[in-house]
Amino acid sequence: MAKLSQDDLLAQFEEMTLIELSEFVKAFEEKFDVTAAAAAPVVVAGGAAGGAAAEAAEEQDEFDVILTGAGDKKIQVIKVVRELTSLGLKEAKDLVDGTPKPVLEKVAKDAAAKAKESLEAAGASVEVK
């Protein structure tokens, strides 16, 4: 098997859905006996520099929108998740069924606030970190 370059790997990750990436991270953790805290920044951020990580800790400009519950109107929540992401119907349903799960990761404060507002309007409980 030919060795893939970092650019080739990143191109492959860009084509994956959030669910596929989540499954990949789990498999990566099991294969190399690491935790998501160590693996996720490398996979998601493409290997952020240590100095950049320290600056991000001081002033947070990227937020994660985490779905903590679907509420009574699960179908409406699934529709909103599909609008916010590029997930298909099955992936969006799996995400909603598997709460708590991140819907959006590393987004700007404005986008996180709008996503939270949309999901709460559909009846979901949401947390922004």
Mean pLDDT of the chain, nearest integer? 78
Q: What local confidence, expressed as pLDDT, does residue 59 receive? A: 66
Q: What local confidence, expressed as pLDDT, does residue 61 receive? A: 77
Q: What local confidence, expressed as pLDDT, does residue 41 receive? A: 45
pLDDT tens figures, 63-82 = 888 888 888 888 898 898 89
Q: What local confidence, expressed as pLDDT, does residue 36 receive? A: 60
Is residue 100 classed as helix, strand or coil in its secondary structure?
coil
- And the tokens for 129? 């970190």
Q: What local confidence, expressed as pLDDT, does residue 68 receive? A: 87
Low-confidence ranges of the chain (pLDDT < 70): 1, 36-59
Is residue 34 classed as helix, strand or coil in its secondary structure?
coil
Q: What local confidence, expressed as pLDDT, does residue 44 receive? A: 47
CA distance 89 to 93: 6
**Helices 74-84, 89-97: inter-axial angle, 10-degree rounding:** 120
